[in-house]
Amino acid sequence: MYIVLNPNRENIHITAFPAEGQPLRVVLDVDRVLNDEIDFHRYISQLLKTSKMKAEKIQAIGIYLHFGGGIFGTMEVFNEAFLEKLNQLMGISPIYTWFALSLFQKLSQQLQSENVYVFFGTGYFLQLPEQARRYAISISPVVGTELTRYGYHGLYHKMNGEIPVLPNKVISIVLGKKTTVSAIINKNPLTISMGFTPLEGIMGERNCGDIDPGIIMYLMNQGKYSIYHIDEILKNESGFFGLTGLDLSIPDLLPLIDTKPKVALAFDIYREQIRKYCGEAILQLGGFTDLVISGEYAARLIPFIYQFIKEFSFLDVHLKGMPWVESSTHITEITESSSRIRIHLNLYQLDEIIYEELQKPSQTQPFDS
């Protein structure tokens, strides 16, 4: 059995992957761990018993953190040296790092006998070329932090770049609460749409995406907004929510396009921003051989994906007929063999990607205390 933990400041999403049968997914209040109310092994055993699943030896545990700064790669062994290294992120992301340290210190007391690995959503983009990582700004020594593009959705993009046969030039799109686009050549990333913070790039459910930085100064000078109020607006009151006023997920907004003009406009802006970053990717790659679309929302946004792909028809793209997806298939090529560009749907979810990574032969290093 393999266990995947995906924590945030409210909950820990836990997935248990048995040797046979379907995975078990549960959500645990993170405060129960932080307050020492949970014995991890006993909790997992009780879950398996309640779900009538056979008890199995845990082969490995994967824990996901979305941010690793410029310090952590895609996968790291969870040990004392890791905890010391994690502390270095305090200067970049203090609130998130404090939470992660608190959680890991609790887990380390209970998982010393297990093979534990930590996966980072930013690690893949440590491979970005220097000119793609850097900003044309000169204040890094003042703030004490390197201002660089960290990226997002690294595990998705890494997998997307590995799907097509080599050699390849891949445009990778990840559709979720936040959406990202990456240009990948022979498994190596050249670009990523999200940068130093999750605000840069394509608009999301609540984050603004690319804006003119002068807007911030305008709001401060003319609207007398505080920097904290502006931060809240850009992170949590913009994007689809800001444009529509509807507190719904992107897939739940999609059926409202024909009846609500604000929703239709939001999707027009969303589509235009994805197109812009795809155009950048094509230029960086010098053309492309494959387009791979994935993410937590990919399966629920098939109508949007279909309309978006039709815009590539000038490249002699020939789509297969619907339906594209079978219930047992995670990865599907949705173009005919005659298509000049190959297009793939990757419906793996994040916990399933980590599960696949944990099973690779290189992931056999034991927990080191």
Phi and psi dihedrals of 45, rounded to 5? -60, -40
Show Cβ contacts of residue 100 under 8 Å, excluding neighbours closer than 6 positions: 7, 65, 86, 89
Rounded alpha-carbon distances, angstroms, from residue 187 to 93, 161, 201, 271, 366? 28, 5, 22, 26, 28
Secondary element (H or E) of residue 369: none
* pLDDT (0 to 100) of residue 42: 86
pLDDT tens figures, 214-264? 999 999 999 899 999 999 999 999 999 999 999 999 999 999 999 999 999
Class of domain 154-352: alpha beta
Q: What is the rounded distance in angstroms from the CA atom of residue 209 to the CA atom of residue 199?
A: 5
pTM of the model: 0.94
Show Cβ contacts of residue 357 under 8 Å, excluding neighbours closer than 6 positions: 62, 75, 119, 155, 363
Segments making up each domain of the chain, as ranges: 2-126, 154-352
* DSSP output for 168-237: -EEEEEE-SSS-EEEEEETTEEEEES--SSTTSSS--SS---S--THHHHHHHHHS---HHHHHHHHHHS
**Fold matches, 2-126 and 154-352:** yes
Tokens of 41: 């092994």
Half-sphere exposure of 7 (CA within 13 A, CB side): 21
CATH number of 2-126: 3.30.420.40
Q: What is the rounded distance in angstroms from the CA atom of residue 271 to the CA atom of residue 152?
A: 19
Which residues pair with residue 292 across a beta bridge? 172, 344
CB 192 within 8 A of CB 182: yes
Low-confidence ranges of the chain (pLDDT < 70): 139-144, 326-328, 361-369
CB 3 within 8 A of CB 56: no
CB 64 within 8 A of CB 15: no
